[in-house]
Structure 1
Amino acid sequence: MKQNTNLFLTLVLLVSTLQFSFAQNDLITNIQGRKTISLNGTWHYIIDPYETGFYNYRYKERNEDDKEAYWNKPNEENKIDRVEHGYEAPYEIKVPGDWNSQKEVFKYYEGTVWYQREFDVPQMDATERVFLHFGAVNYEAHVYLNGKKLGMHKGGFTAFNFEIPKALLQKEGNFLVVKVDNKRYKDEIPTLNTDWWNYGGITRDVNLVITKDNFITNYGLTLNQDQDIKTALKNNKFQIDGSIKLNAVATNTTVTVEIPELKIKKNFTINGDEVRFSILAKNIHLWSPDNPKLYEVSFNFNGEKIKEKIGFRKIETSGNKILLNGTKIFLRGICIHEEVPQEQRRAYSKEDADKMFKEVKELNANMVRLAHYPHNEYMLKAADSLGIMVWSEIPVYWAIDFGNEAVLQKAKVQLEEMITRDRNKASLIIWSVGNETPVSPTRTNFMKSLITRAKELDKTRLVSAALEVAYNKEVNTIDDPLGQYTDIVSVNEYLGWYGGHPNDTQTAHWKVVYDKPLFFSETGAGAKGGYHADKETRWSEEYQEWFYEEQIKMMKKMPENYCGLSPWILRDFRSPKRNHPKYQEGWNRKGLIDDKGNKKKAFFVLQKYYKEMAENKK
């Protein structure tokens, strides 16, 4: 009986894994560097809380050719025909963008919305192929074209793509429909309970990607991790390691890699669908916050040239220090949600990223923690160009179903999608596998598995997770068993907000049982912008200011393993959990900038501390 049960669970897991893996193996990266047609703009929509367009009245999934299925074009040939769905004005919505911020009817909506638009395709070469690429859809997407299903994807913050069969493409009037469902479930990533707004919709760019018959799907280029970076700098000799993944097998075919500024042009022969290589280089200016140098790199294969700006650097730990290019660094960080509070919407554009990083630079920060999910690619590109180091995280948040193997597989898929898209971003120095997960052997095994997978996929970055602190009047000991597997020990600490008093920091003592760098991945206090009182009045800007002053005094007394902090958070953001009618009103108020864009008093306290830390480094 036990054998049969195990076989059943294995089959269930296999089906679940396949269901969530349609787009993973062939995820196309660097969309901006390819031949594309944007499908951004105005789409039509149908709100479908009962999922009538997906299920029939017996709650069975509709057949593909069912005229009442919402993926099929409504067709009224005669006046007697019965049609119960349609896509037309004024039911229009902008893509990219969340639905919650676009119309009042969507403000608190969680459920299914059908998106629809038509598109034409240009004249194409007989050998060219077309892929439909989504930057992100929250959370579950079913994609249909001309009445046929292309595939399904789960995960609200990672990219995916499907090939469009040529037989399905029409020169004009292709009928594209996407079923988007942002409902929360216990066995998903993230799970039911989160402290941020569950924005639904097609939240990032949509593109047709036109490729050759065989093409470069993705690639990686980085400094060799085994070389001693100080020796390489002294001798002016660097080893660059690379890999190129093709969409299909090639035989005795040449791939060319060029870095013109470094006078590099190398040909590599590929037999199969992947090639790994090394290049010796001189005169490399390494990427750093002080010198965010990027080189234009081109990859040439099968008559197609893909370009991307890539920086070279080495991030590592040595004992209880973090080293960038062989030199100890201090992370002057700040946490960020992917949100524009002034407009109560999900951030998605280059303009959004530029505005956010302008505030980061004003703060004198050199690092951001992108919480609690992978952010859009414009954020990483801005960080690369500005010299801001990045922590990127998958939404394994709070009480995930750690004993469920299928949930672990979903987390691994999101981890793989995050790493695949962003592994060429020099600014990205830390992969995080989760936030504030409660300690238990089951949880630790779950998280350890993710850390192992992250290191298999990318050995050029640090791996961590945001841990909680068990406070004690005598000494705050950080001994979470997960810390033995992470490269740095990262903890979320709110002494004086969720317990105790800001003055308690004066007598606080800290002990870390691991000889690793200690990073405070969160700390903060709430304040409603514009509300002023004495410093002991909670929710006032003066209380938040005082909290930061006491925290900084404590940080200045930290032992030498203290390597930085990323307070919570740059901007106020929406949260259904924050319901005080006077001070919160559906907002998490821990931002240093309020929902109107005004800097609170605490902003300037942290700004001053970071300026001092930057000057002390020099």
Structure 2
Amino acid sequence: MQKSIYRVFIICFSLLSTISYAQVTAIQNIQSRKILSLNGKWNYIIDPYENGYYDYRHEPFDQSKTGTGGFFDDRVQKDKTELIEYDFDHSSLMNVPGDWNSQLEKLELYEGSVWLRRKFDAKPEKGKKYYIYFAAVNYEAHVYLNGKKLGVHKGGFTPFQFDATNKLKAGENSIILKVDNTRKQDEIPTVNTDWWNYGGITRDVYLAEFPDHFIADYKLQLVKGNNNLVSFSVKLADATANQEVTLSIPELKLEKKYKTDGEGKIADEFIWNNLSLWSPENPKLYGVNIKTDKEDINDKIGFRNIEVRGDSIYLNGKSIFLRGISVHDENPLLAGRLRSEGDMRMMLQWSKDMNCNYVRLAHYPHNEEMIRLADEMGLLVWAEVPVYWTISWTNPATYANAKQQLTDLIVRDKNRASVIVWSVGNETPLSDARLSFMSNLVETARTLDDTRLVAAALEVHREGNTMVLNDPLGEKIDLVSFNEYAGWYWGGTPAEITKYDFNIKYNKPVVVTEFGGDALGGFHADENTRWSEEYQEALYKNQITLLSKIGALRGMTPWILTDFRSPRRQHPIYQNFWNRKGLISETGKKKKAFYVLKDYYNQMQAKYK
């Protein structure tokens, strides 16, 4: 027994000593730093057997005695006798950012490893620090610079960076990634999802240059419950004392000077009257500057307050109804993740066309640019991590992964006024282990940011004609937020669902996070014919009647804005690998139910003026 424990210890120690995992949290506001974009055309090698990572005994090359032998060496033949079984220079090219599934027909359903390489020139300066920053890579990324491993990151939707200072060369450099999007039971998300598993470097890549003692993180927002008390904090990348930091907001003629404490931190609260508060009707953003003798960081920040009182939600002290819609990070018109500001603006504008003031960005962190656009366009945001369906609730590594993804989401977006809800998961089944897992995530969210609401998309169960919500997680979160699919997965035809009632245990605002049904755009029939626009239209009309029975109803995000791709949806006529619950088709045409929801939101806007 002792020998077995010792052997496990040696194996674990060996792995820890050879693998560098990504940072605790990503650097705030990378776009405002000195950056070199590494976007563009990258060479790629498809490696389903992972020949470039493991030797024939299935031992990782980068953990061998020499630390060489894998594709990350980026070798070229020196003479005609040398055996090399790969060649990046003559490999095909792929767009980065971009997923491989939508760029290459033969990789449409591929899940596995792909190597990607980019060469770039650099001029590193003494006394400066250099990081390779990735806005997102799905899912597991092994990162190498000039043949040396920078580290490993897991998680497909959150940013990460590695310190490249000691491995960056003057002149030409080679960065190589092994990216693996294989679904696994113990990961976040797990093996079973209802969206396309797009693999690759799906968001921006930068080489970022920093001075010593740089600002790694900052926060500027109102203290919860107070519309003129501002909280400001800064954290340097190291524990440097007496670093002078200046905060200024020119439009307000505000300028405050600070010096960091012994931990390299600043924390302050101050009164500032006459702030123009951010709201969907007034998406006011102030230009903010945070400056040291070596850095000059600019941001656009709005100030607002969100809170729950009893069964109502208050934005800046005014009761509000969340007129929302759920959204995936996918362009229905062009396969793949949303690629550009234009793609993202299109999705948010479609939401506003429906008279939404709110979007649920499901089921994972969306692009940071999406959140900044929501700030600009005046849309409140529910932001979520992919703790989805059935997770490995008792695996400590799975929980650590989920906690890290939630932390990275909150750190990245905590200065965005649009974000009002941190969601810790979606449709997770009841159990003691799950309650502990989810409760700990709720506590993590509150510890990291006490100014926003914390929620999760729960499930209801049926007792006769009553939908019951008594999930014990409801005691710990701020909203009674749940999904229900009466009229589609159960409950009969659309006309029959109004017979149901609700039994909700908690006296909190109710925000229905999902309901809906599929409709093939352009297919018309009577309202009892599945897959027709008329069926979906009738379903929405009767859902609105059904949900209006809930006295504490304070918002909804029906499923979903647009049709989206999913390997789970296989009917050859009506689905063909598409989830058709969108209110807008894959051609961009608004279905009949779109106008039902828009009419309802017009009514709710008038009611909550």
TM (norm. structure 2) is: 0.96
SS of the equivalent of 1:409 reads helix
Displacement, 1:242? 1.3
Distance in 1 of aligned mates of 2:354 and 2:7: 55
Displacement, 1:68? 3.6
Residues 296-347 of structure 1 show CA distances to partners (whole Å, capped at 9, x for unaligned) of 1111123211010000111110011111111111000100000012212111
Q: How does 1:122-521 map to 2 (within 5 A)?
A: 122=123, 124-166=124-166, 168-225=167-224, 227=226, 229=227, 238-271=228-261, 272-501=263-492, 502-521=494-513
Distance in 2 of aligned mates of 1:477 and 1:24: 42
Distance in 1 of aligned mates of 2:367 and 2:592: 29
Q: Contact conserved, 1:433 with 1:451, CA < 8 A, in 2?
A: yes
How much identity, in percent, do the aligned residues show? 48
| Residues 224 and 15 of structure 1, relative CA distance in 2, 3 Å threshold | farther
**Aligned positions, number:** 605
Q: Contact conserved, 2:439 with 2:473, CA < 8 A, in 1?
A: yes
Structure 1 range deviating more: 168-177 or 425-434: 168-177
| Residues 263 and 92 of structure 1, relative CA distance in 2, 3 Å threshold | same
Displacement, 1:280? 2.0
Residues 101-157 of structure 1 show CA distances to partners (whole Å, capped at 9, x for unaligned) of 1011111100000000100114x5422211110000000000001010011100000
Residues 176-214 of structure 1 show CA distances to partners (whole Å, capped at 9, x for unaligned) of 101100001000000000011000000000011111112
SS of the equivalent of 1:218 reads strand
Displacement, 1:39? 0.4
Q: Contact conserved, 1:469 with 1:476, CA < 8 A, in 2?
A: yes
Q: Contact conserved, 1:348 with 1:376, CA < 8 A, in 2?
A: no
For 1:48, the aligned partner's letter is D
Query: 2:82 corresponds to which residue?
Result: 81
| Residues 407 and 12 of structure 1, relative CA distance in 2, 3 Å threshold | farther
Query: 2:29 corresponds to which residue?
Result: 30
| Residues 161 and 289 of structure 1, relative CA distance in 2, 3 Å threshold | same
For 1:97, the aligned partner's letter is G
Query: 2:39 corresponds to which residue?
Result: 40
Displacement, 1:520? 0.2
| Residues 484 and 66 of structure 1, relative CA distance in 2, 3 Å threshold | closer
Displacement, 1:466? 0.3
Query: 1:550 corresponds to which residue?
Result: 542
Distance in 1 of aligned mates of 2:290 and 2:369: 21
Distance in 2 of aligned mates of 1:15 and 1:290: 56
Structure 1 range deviating more: 258-267 or 16-25: 16-25
Query: 1:233 corresponds to which residue?
Result: none
Q: Contact conserved, 2:53 with 2:62, CA < 8 A, in 1?
A: no
Residues 364-405 of structure 1 show CA distances to partners (whole Å, capped at 9, x for unaligned) of 001000110000011101100011000010000000011112
Distance in 2 of aligned mates of 1:251 and 1:274: 8
Q: Contact conserved, 1:24 with 1:417, CA < 8 A, in 2?
A: no
| Residues 380 and 157 of structure 1, relative CA distance in 2, 3 Å threshold | same
For 1:127, the aligned partner's letter is G
SS of the equivalent of 1:249 reads coil
For 1:566, the aligned partner's letter is T
Displacement, 1:279? 2.4
Distance in 2 of aligned mates of 1:350 and 1:212: 30
Q: Contact conserved, 1:120 with 1:171, CA < 8 A, in 2?
A: yes
Distance in 2 of aligned mates of 1:436 and 1:524: 15
| Residues 548 and 33 of structure 1, relative CA distance in 2, 3 Å threshold | same
Q: Contact conserved, 1:470 with 1:478, CA < 8 A, in 2?
A: yes
Distance in 2 of aligned mates of 1:63 and 1:14: 16
Distance in 2 of aligned mates of 1:17 and 1:303: 35
Query: 2:515 corresponds to which residue?
Result: 523
Q: Contact conserved, 2:25 with 2:411, CA < 8 A, in 1?
A: no
Q: Contact conserved, 1:495 with 1:504, CA < 8 A, in 2?
A: no
Query: 1:111 corresponds to which residue?
Result: 112
SS of the equivalent of 1:539 reads coil
Gaps of 5+ in 2: none
Distance in 1 of aligned mates of 2:15 and 2:371: 31
Distance in 1 of aligned mates of 2:108 and 2:354: 32
Q: Contact conserved, 2:311 with 2:507, CA < 8 A, in 1?
A: yes
Query: 2:581 corresponds to which residue?
Result: 590
Displacement, 1:555? 2.7
Structure 1 range deviating more: 360-369 or 264-273: 264-273
For 1:158, the aligned partner's letter is T
Q: Does 1:615 align with 2:602?
A: no
Q: Contact conserved, 1:316 with 1:322, CA < 8 A, in 2?
A: yes
For 1:153, the aligned partner's letter is H
SS of the equivalent of 1:44 reads strand
SS of the equivalent of 2:352 reads helix
| Residues 348 and 10 of structure 1, relative CA distance in 2, 3 Å threshold | farther
SS of the equivalent of 2:461 reads coil
Displacement, 1:81? 1.0
Query: 1:602 corresponds to which residue?
Result: 593
